[in-house]
Structure 1
Amino acid sequence: MTQPALFIAHGAPTLAIENNEYTAFLRRLGQEILSKPKAIVLFSAHWDSPIQFVTSDQVHDTIHDFYGFPDELYEISYPAPGSPELTARIEALFKDGNLAYKTITGRGLDHGAWIVLREMFPACDVPVVALSVDARRTPAEQYAIGKMLMALREENVLVIGSGGLVHNLRMLERSGDSPSSWAVDFDKWIEEQLANWDLRQLFEYVKRAPHAREAVPSYAPEHFAPLLYAMGASDNDRNASKLHQEYEFGNLSLNCWMFGSKS
């Protein structure tokens, strides 16, 4: 079975205790839209490192890497199993691609990972290998790393990039019924490039996209990076489908893109 690659916005940590349109979509995504994968490779915006890390745990701890939220959030546990076998496969692919990496145990899954996985696979029965992103790399380099994992999709492994295309916490709006026009304009520009798989434009999004500096602020480029990693994993069948789009707090983009298709 061939799995697609996904980019999923993980939103705010409170998503884990909400029951709304987006959480309902994530549940449908895991239980109806997708076929159950053998395992998952997940790049999270909340693991940003110049070293390419790969986890090799039997069972993942749950990291509550946020502060000042309701107590019930800190009580949530998502002890997803790992897959040392898949880790070894990823190591081989990175070696083939001449990518330096480091395999570690004991880190656990950050909220960029477990929040979306918990909604999609609540039984916590799909093995997960977590990978770091590097926001300091160029978009082309991020895409190339994802491309190294392309073969995994044909082995029934789901590749996920978890982040946020418009993720500027300093510009959130607590009131108002309509999303911020600048956020919508940025998302529409991204949609146009994805429809054409225009890598030249996407790799230069900072210069070319409208409102790029508002949507992807200089202090948080790591939230955009997972898009490129996920796209790279679908370089062999370059097509993109938008599965969901909405906004929270005026301009926090909650969207999901599927690259390639399941078969």
Structure 2
Amino acid sequence: MTTQALPTLFVPHGAGPCFFMTWEPADAWSRMADWLRAVPERIGTRPKAVLVVSGHWEAPVFTVNAQRAPPLLYDYSGFPPHTYELTYPVPGSPALAERVQALLGGAGFTSEAESARGLDHGVFIPMKVIYPAADVPIVQLSLRQGLDPAEHLAMGRALAPLRREGVLIVGSGMSYHNMRRFRFDDSTLDPDSVRFDEWLAETVALPAPAREQRLSDWAAAPGGRAAHPREEHLLPLHVVAGAAGVDAGQHVLQDRVLGSLQSAFMFGG
């Protein structure tokens, strides 16, 4: 067991397999990819394993992938053929999956383990950039259907002990995810994206009680519901904010892509 708590991270995972294909303009995702590549240096310590909560997996109860060698789930469509042949032979960790279930159970949450679903693109796409050697075990944990923000904050709090056990907790989503408003012209930004990004940056920097209260009420934030017509891509932020405990949050990336601002946040570290 380690004594130094690892930080928690909310990372944007981009659009489908965007980091591994040609895009127009060519540098659309390069800033985000460069930031993801620098995550190990920012963390400073090689984790024993990574627990990832992705906006692309919802289950009736919190469910953890317990496979020793999880396959990949190419849960995107309309992209070039080679993106369905991407590989990422990362090991899983049944022991970490069991530990996750024990922590959730101790906090009163019902959970399940599963051994069939592959790692979705909200996991393997950003992690392939962060740890390209696929040599850090990864376990995926689902969101819970109903998407209650307070419940996901509480789930994160239950997982906080993992940070002192060498586990990096990552929330993978997008800080803005209104598919109908994304556009290839970045000359102007969706004003709701700007308003909500400012609110998020202000919120994560608050002391934990105020931070959690505001995140619980995120839909009332300026630009909130416009930025997230459905909140599955935002709630991974709630998980890592809950796991952060009293640790301060930082706005560590702001990128401009598809007519929106996209941000990453780190807590602790």
- Please tell me whether residue 242 in structure 1 is matched to residue 245 in structure 2: no
1:2 corresponds to which of 2, 5, 13? 5
CA displacement at 1:135 relative to structure 2: 5.2
Deviation at 1:180?
2.2
Task: Read off the aligned partner of 1:92 and give its amino acid letter.
Answer: A
- Aligned residue in 2 for 1:254: 262
- 1:47-104 deviation digits (Å, cap 9, x = unpaired): 0122211111111101100111111211101121011111121121112112101111
- Give yes or no for the alignment of 1:200 onto 2:200: no
Corresponding letter in the other structure for 1:47:
W
| Structure 1: stretches of 5+ with no match in the other structure | none
Correspondence for 1:161:
171
CA–CA separation in structure 2 for the residues paired with 1:176 and 1:46 = 26
**1:131 equivalent in alignment to 2:149:** no
Tell me whether 1:211 sits opposite 2:220 in the alignment.
Answer: no
Unpaired runs of 5+ in structure 2? 22-28
| Residue 227 (1) aligns with residue 230 (2) | no
* Normalised TM-score (structure 1): 0.93
- 1:248 is matched by which residue type in structure 2? V
Do 1:135 and 1:221's aligned partners in 2 also have CA atoms closer than 8 Å? no
* SS of 1:21 mapped into structure 2: helix
Contact 1:44 1:162 in 2 (8 A): yes
- The Cα offsets for residues 123-148 of structure 1, whole Å up to 9 and x where unpaired, read as 00001111001251421111000111
Measure the CA separation in 2 of the matches of 1:56 and 1:157: 15
Code of the aligned partner of 1:211: G
Match runs of 1:182-201 below 5 Å:
182-197=192-207, 198=210, 199-201=212-214
Q: Which residue of the partner structure matches residue 160 of structure 2?
A: 150
Task: Tell me how far 1:181 sits from its aligned partner.
Answer: 2.2
Distance 1:70 1:17 in 2: 10
Q: CA deviation at 1:167?
A: 0.5
Are the equivalent residues in 1 in contact too, given 2:12–2:173 (CA < 8 A)? yes
SS in 2 for 1:143: helix
CA RMSD in angstroms, aligned pairs only: 1.4
Q: How many residues align?
A: 255
TM-score (norm 2): 0.91
Distance in 2 of aligned mates of 1:79 and 1:157 = 19
Residue identity matched to 1:12: A
**Which residue, out of 51, 67, 71, partners 1:41?**
51
Task: Quote the Cα distance in structure 1 between the aligned partners of 2:60 and 2:175.
Answer: 21
The alpha carbon displacement at 1:202 in A equals 1.9
Q: Does 1:175 align with 2:185?
A: yes
Secondary structure of the residue aligned to 2:17 is: helix
1:113 and 1:93 map into 2 onto residues whose CA distance is 22
Read off the aligned partner of 1:204 and give its amino acid letter: D
* TM superposition outliers: structure 1 runs of 4+ over 3 Å: none
